[in-house]
Amino acid sequence: MTLHVSAAHAPTAGTPAPAPLVNVSFSEKAKGYLALTKPRVVELLLVTTLPTMFFAKGYSGRAGVPSLWLMVATMVGGALAAGASGAFNCYIDRDIDKVMNRTSKRPLVTGIISPREALVFSWILTVLAVALLWSINPLTGILGVGAIFLYVVVYSLILKRRTTQNIVWGGAAGCMPVLIAWAAVTGTVQWPAIILFMIIFLWTPPHYWPLSMRYGDDYNAANVPMLGAVAGSRTVAVQVVLYTWAMVACSLLMVPLGGAGPVYTLTTIAAGIWFLVEAHRLYNQAKEDLVTKKSAMKVFHASITYLTLVFLSLAVDPFVGSALMGVAA
């Protein structure tokens, strides 16, 4: 089974021409739709969702695993919301994706998916996501709408092409899954959820700015003012260090204000020290003008490991706390 598709935009100077009319198999079409959702971003967001649900369950005084239906509905609803946001972003950015090597293989650039198909697909995912999250409780549905709005409107349409602070404020969309997860379990948003939101908010710049340093040529070619692309390496490195310190300090607030126990505390301290070392190493390299694409990407990958460790410890922590209380009793 094949489908006929064609590109929607005329070529621009210095950029690859749109894909001609081609035959696309069903599997290629399906892979194209999947690529629109930016699966790697979805995976990262889901890493923060399930651990937050476990911790929220314990924080509410009912340590244990949330119901299977609740976990599945929240994870699938969150994945659909993140996928919808990614698909909308691919539709909005299809012009600049053509001039960036990193994004030149996206399905709207190659012609596997047409702009109309991408837009319809984005709205379908949005409706499904909001409906599923709303079925849990209205608050999770509202937060799901907020997450999509932040990424699509605030980041993609308003901030991305206008300010070097685009990823700071637009990155708030990536913080929403923890609020959604908390609301799904408790029906409300409490201080620990806000702290977790702020951890991810402060984590986003030291995560993304090293990546924009690596792909600075791409962003400059597309006239997208990512800080890592338009500012000097020393300026970027200073910001990475400052945000990393703020993030580590914020993560420790979960101990006095969120009731986090020893597993979270020790893991967060150890992971925080390690990531601070990586951030300061980048700064020291920047002072000597020795930053390379490889060293920038080392900080990018370290940020992913850091966030994964923190949230895995968050998931385990309530069970260890309950076990220790049982032994003490």
- Last residue of one domain, picked from the residues 167, 187, 207: 187
Confidence (pLDDT) at 13? 36
Give DSSP secondary structure letters for 295-311: HHHHHHHHHHHHHHHHH
Check whether residue 224 and residue 312 sit in a common domain. yes
Indicate if 140 and 195 belong to the same structural domain.
no
Instruction: Say yes or no to pLDDT of 270 above 60.
Output: yes
14 in a domain, yes or no?
no
Answer yes or no: is pLDDT of 12 > 70.
Answer: no
The CA radius of gyration of the chain, in Å to the nearest whole number, is 21
Domain that holds residue 93: 36-187
Within this chain, do residues 199 and 295 fall inside the same structural domain, yes or no?
yes
Least confident range of 91-95, 118-122, 164-168: 164-168
The model's confidence at residue 319, banded by pLDDT at 50, 70 and 90, is confident
Would you say residue 10 has pLDDT above 80?
Answer: no
Q: How confident is the model at residue 69 (pLDDT cuts 50, 70, 90)?
A: very high
The continuous run of DSSP H or E covering 24 comes out as strand 22-25
Structure token pair of residue 288: 């000597």
Residues 247, 272: Cα–Cα separation, whole Å = 8
pLDDT at 63: 63
Residue burial 176-214, b: 16+ Cβ < 10 Å; e: rest? bbbbbbbbbbbeebeebbbbbbbbbbbbbbbbbbbbbbb
For the ranges 113-122, 262-271, 289-298, which has the lowest average pLDDT? 289-298
CA distance 42 to 312: 17
Q: What was the pLDDT predicted at 5?
A: 37
Number of domains in the chain: 2
Average pLDDT, the chain: 89
Please tell me the distance from the alpha carbon of residue 110 to that of residue 300, in angstroms, as a whole number. 28
Q: Both 311 and 256 in a single domain?
A: yes
**Of 187, 207, 233, which residue sits at a domain end?**
187
- Is the pLDDT score of 303 beyond 80? yes
What is the tens place of the pLDDT at every residue in 163-213?
A: 998 988 888 999 999 999 999 999 999 999 999 999 999 999 999 999 999
Contacts 24+ apart (CB under 8 A), 56-61: 56/181, 56/182, 56/185, 56/186, 56/192, 56/193, 57/185, 57/318, 58/317, 58/318, 58/319, 58/321, 58/322, 59/186, 59/190, 59/192, 59/258, 59/259, 59/318, 60/185, 60/186
143: in domain: yes
Query: Do the domain assignments include residue 18?
Result: no
Model pTM score: 0.88
Give the domain CATH number at 165. Answer: 1.10.357.140
State the CATH number of the domain containing residue 208.
1.20.120
Are 150 and 203 within one domain? no
Report if residue 272 sits inside a domain.
Answer: yes
- State percent of the chain over pLDDT 70: 90
Is the pLDDT at 8 greater than 60? The verdict is no
Q: What residue spans of the chain are helical by DSSP H? A: 26-36, 39-59, 68-92, 94-97, 107-110, 115-136, 138-149, 166-170, 176-186, 191-214, 216-221, 227-230, 233-252, 254-258, 262-287, 293-328
Instruction: Examine residue 277 and state whether it is found in any structural domain, yes or no.
Output: yes
Residues 315 and 272 both lie in one domain? yes
Determine contact, residues 79/46, Cβ cutoff 8 Å.
Answer: yes
The residue among 120, 90, 92, 95 whose CA lies nearest residue 107 is 90
CA 301 to chain centre: 13
Distance CA 84, CA 191 (A): 28
